[in-house]
Amino acid sequence: MVDQVEEFDYVVIGAGSAGCALARRLSDLTGARILVLEAGGADERPDIHDPTAYYGLWGSEVDWKYETVPQPAADGRVIAVPRGRVLGGTSSLNGMVYIHGDRRDFDTWAYLGAHGWSFDEVGAAFNAMEGRGSYRDADAPATGPLMPAVVSNRSEISQVFIDACVEVGIPYNSDLNSGDLMGAAWNESTIFQGMRQSSYRAFLAGIADRRELVVETHALVQGLDVNPQGEIHRVEYLSNGRPRAVHVRREVILASGAIDTPRTLLLSGIGSASELERVGVTPCIDLPEVGRNLVDHMLLGVAFGATREIDNKNPNITECCAFVKSNDAVLGSDIEISMGKEKNFVAGYDAPEHCFTLIPGITRPQSRGSLTLISSDPTVHPQIDPRHLAEPEDVHALVRGIEISREIANSRAFRPWNAGEVAPGNHVTSRELIQDYVRSVATTWFHPVGTCRMGVDSGAVVDQRLRVRGTSNLRIADASIMPEIVSCNTNAASMMIGWRAGDIIASEL
Ligand X SMILES: Cc1cc2nc3c(=O)[nH]c(=O)nc-3n(C[C@H](O)[C@H](O)[C@H](O)COP(=O)(O)OP(=O)(O)OC[C@H]3O[C@@H](n4cnc5c(N)ncnc54)[C@H](O)[C@@H]3O)c2cc1C
Q: What is the DSSP letter of 75?
A: T
Of 39 and 462, CB closest to ligand X? 39
327, containing H or E segment: none
Q: Least distance from C-beta 416 to ligand X, angstroms?
A: 29
Does 58 engage in binding with ligand X (CB under 6 A)? yes
Of 19 and 183, CB closest to ligand X? 19
Are residues 347 and 391 in contact, defined by beta-carbon separation less than 8 angstroms? no
- Give the span between the Cα atoms of 147 and 489, in whole angstroms: 17
- Give the span between the Cα atoms of 226 and 471, in whole angstroms: 8
- Residue of 75, 69, 68 lying closest to 437 (CA atoms): 75
* Span near ligand X by CB under 6 A; candidates 136-144, 153-161, 166-174, 490-498: 490-498
320, containing H or E segment: strand 320-324
SS3 199: helix
- Give the span between the Cα atoms of 234 and 474, in whole angstroms: 12
Are residues 149 and 403 in contact, defined by beta-carbon separation less than 8 angstroms? no
Of 438 and 492, CB closest to ligand X? 492
Considering only residues 219 through 278, tell me which ones interact with ligand X, judged by CB under 6 A.
219-221, 255-258, 260, 264
Are residues 299 and 314 in contact, defined by beta-carbon separation less than 8 angstroms? no
Of 198 and 405, CB closest to ligand X? 198
Q: Least distance from C-beta 425 to ligand X, angstroms?
A: 27
Question: Which one of residues 494, 496, 499, 505 is an interface residue with ligand X (CB under 6 A)?
Answer: 494
Q: Least distance from C-beta 270 to ligand X, angstroms?
A: 14
Quickly list H helices, 221-350: 257-267, 273-278
Q: Where are the beta strands (DSSP E) in 54-138?
A: 66-67, 80-81, 97-98
Does 446 engage in binding with ligand X (CB under 6 A)? yes
SS3 451: coil
DSSP lists the bridge partners of residue 86 as 41
Does 443 engage in binding with ligand X (CB under 6 A)? no
Number of residues that bind ligand X (CB under 6 A): 42
Does 298 engage in binding with ligand X (CB under 6 A)? no
Question: Which one of residues 9, 130, 385, 478 is an interface residue with ligand X (CB under 6 A)?
Answer: 478
- Residues contacting residue 314 through CB under 8 Å, at least 6 positions apart: 151, 153, 154, 155
Q: Least distance from C-beta 94 to ligand X, angstroms?
A: 3
Q: Least distance from C-beta 327 to ligand X, angstroms?
A: 25
Give me the residue whose beta carbon is nearest to ligand X.
Answer: 16
SS3 299: strand
Does 10 engage in binding with ligand X (CB under 6 A)? no
Of 84 and 401, CB closest to ligand X? 84
Question: Is 381 one of the annotated active-site residues of the chain?
Answer: no
Question: Which one of residues 367, 370, 464, 491 is an interface residue with ligand X (CB under 6 A)?
Answer: 491
> Which phi and psi angles does 473 have, rounded to 5°?
-145, 40
Does 16 engage in binding with ligand X (CB under 6 A)? yes
Question: Which one of residues 160, 224, 466, 492 is an interface residue with ligand X (CB under 6 A)?
Answer: 492
Of 422 and 474, CB closest to ligand X? 474
- Give the span between the Cα atoms of 422 and 350, in whole angstroms: 8
Q: Least distance from C-beta 70 to ligand X, angstroms?
A: 20
DSSP string, 146-179: B--EE-SS--HHHHHHHHHHHHTTPPB-S-GGGS
Site string for ligand X, 126-165 (x = CB under 6 A): ----------------------------------------
- CA dihedral (402, 406, 408, 412) in degrees, to 10, reads 180
Does 321 engage in binding with ligand X (CB under 6 A)? no
Are residues 207 and 198 in contact, defined by beta-carbon separation less than 8 angstroms? no
Does 17 engage in binding with ligand X (CB under 6 A)? yes
Does 404 engage in binding with ligand X (CB under 6 A)? no
Q: Least distance from C-beta 202 to ligand X, angstroms?
A: 12
Does 299 engage in binding with ligand X (CB under 6 A)? no
- Give the span between the Cα atoms of 500 and 229, in whole angstroms: 27
Of 43 and 385, CB closest to ligand X? 43
SS3 351: coil
Of 132 and 354, CB closest to ligand X? 132
Q: Least distance from C-beta 468 to ligand X, angstroms?
A: 16
Q: Least distance from C-beta 494 to ligand X, angstroms?
A: 4
The angle at the Cα of 401, spanning 398 to 402, to the nearest 5 degrees, equals 95
Of 215 and 434, CB closest to ligand X? 215
Burial class (CB in 10 A: 0-12, 13-18, 19+), 348: exposed
Considering only residues 59 through 98, tell me which ones interact with ligand X, judged by CB under 6 A.
82-85, 89-91, 93-97
Are residues 451 and 287 in contact, defined by beta-carbon separation less than 8 angstroms? no
Burial class (CB in 10 A: 0-12, 13-18, 19+), 214: middle
Question: Which one of residues 442, 490, 502, 505 is an interface residue with ligand X (CB under 6 A)?
Answer: 490
Does 489 engage in binding with ligand X (CB under 6 A)? yes
Q: Indicate which residue of 100, 297, 388, 447 is catalytic.
A: 447
Site string for ligand X, 21-40 (x = CB under 6 A): ----------------xxxx
Are residues 18 and 478 in contact, defined by beta-carbon separation less than 8 angstroms? yes
Of 204 and 306, CB closest to ligand X? 204
Q: Catalytic site residues?
A: 447
Residues that bind ligand X (CB under 6 A): 13-19, 37-40, 58, 82-85, 89-91, 93-97, 219-221, 255-258, 260, 264, 446-447, 478-479, 489-492, 494
